[in-house]
């Protein structure tokens, strides 16, 4: 009886513990490239728990691309294997030949998550502006699911609000749930309660959400929906979580 009670108690504690949020990640070394910064951007790709700096395996993506001035270029062949947060990820140095906004996007392979009894596919993107030209900052890529920015996704001060529209199959998702998390790289941020690691907001009836981060740095926004299809796992059909992920950098306020 004692052994059964201890096992049941441990199971209950595990079930009650907050689940760590997963994020596809595309992090550039700088979201705003000036002439003085050079002529390229260095990108790091991973699948991780960004606040805890806990990486997971990111198998070679199904697709990785950049869109600039309406033209999309396949970059999958240029990805270099790397260790990111102690696990498998990728890097890429990409030359920025012209001014404007570059939108980098990744479609990963389905990731099986036993704790959720489901597959996870995070369609991930980030925006980089080059040489003082922000044309194209609201570019929509037509991904299976994505967050289309209503606020410019770079050049934001900390405490500014970020707004976006959650879309699935090209249509807004009313009342979509959006998870927000800080990339704690070098910041040493701590929280008094694990429930505060991942912030959660809901979109309105038009699929629009709003969030104002408390500090500068990289913040990830993940809008989660369940796919209308399943994938097989050990002979059983399993649900698929579709995540629309966008990474936005907020700058340290330098005013008075």
Q: What is the pLDDT of residue 21?
A: 86
Q: Output the pLDDT for position 13.
A: 38
What values do phi and psi take at 187, rounded to 5?
-90, -30
d(CA 73, CA 80): 17
Element (H, E) at 12: helix 2-16
Which pLDDT score, from 0 to 100, does residue 38 have?
85
Counting as low any pLDDT under 70, the low residues of the chain are 1-20, 256
Tell me, what DSSP letter sits at residue 207?
S
Asked if residues 112 and 236 have their Cβ atoms less than 8 Å apart, the reply is no
Instruction: Round to whole Å and give the CA distance between 119 and 110.
Output: 6
Q: What pLDDT is recorded for position 256? A: 61
Nearest to 249, CA basis, from 122, 112, 69, 128 = 128
Beta partners for residue 88, in sequence order: 83
Q: Please give the torsion angle defined by the CA atoms of residues 66, 181, 148 and 171, in that order, rounded to the nearest 10 degrees.
A: 120
172-214 per-position pLDDT tens digit:
999 999 999 999 998 889 999 999 999 999 999 999 999 999 9
Give the residue from 250, 188, 248, 246 showing the smallest Cα distance to 216.
250
Sequence-separated (6 or more) residues with CB below 8 Å from residue 250: 156, 157, 158, 159, 160, 162, 213, 215, 216, 217, 219
């Amino acid at each position: 009886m004692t052994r059964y009670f201890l096992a049941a108690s441990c199971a209950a504690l595990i079930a009650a513990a907050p689940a760590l949020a997963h994020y596809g990640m595309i992090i550039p070394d700088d979201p705003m490239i000036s002439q003085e910064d050079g002529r390229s951007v260095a990108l790091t790709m991973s699948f991780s728990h960004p606040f805890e700096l806990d990486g997971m395996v990111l198998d070679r993506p199904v697709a990785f691309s950049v869109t600039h001035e309406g033209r999309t270029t396949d970059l999958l062949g240029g990805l270099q294997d790397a260790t990111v947060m102690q696990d498998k990820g990728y890097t890429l140095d990409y030359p920025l030949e012209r001014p404007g906004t570059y939108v980098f996007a990744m479609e990963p392979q389905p990731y099986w998550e036993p704790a959720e009894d489901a597959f996870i596919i995070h369609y991930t993107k980030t925006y980089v502006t080059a040489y003082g030209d922000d044309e194209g900052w609201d570019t929509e890529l037509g991904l299976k699911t994505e967050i289309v920015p209503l606020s410019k996704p770079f050049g934001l001060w900390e405490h500014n609000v970020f707004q976006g529209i959650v879309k699935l199959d090209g249509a807004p998702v009313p009342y979509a749930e959006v998870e927000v998390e800080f990339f704690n790289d070098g910041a040493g941020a701590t929280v008094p309660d694990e429930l505060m690691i991942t912030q959660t907001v809901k979109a309105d009836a038009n699929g629009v959400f709003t969030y104002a981060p408390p500090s500068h740095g990289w913040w990830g926004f993940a809008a989660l929906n369940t796919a209308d299809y399943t994938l097989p796992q050990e002979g059983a059909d399993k649900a698929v979580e579709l995540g629309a992920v966008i990474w936005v950098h907020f700058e340290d306020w330098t005013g008075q």
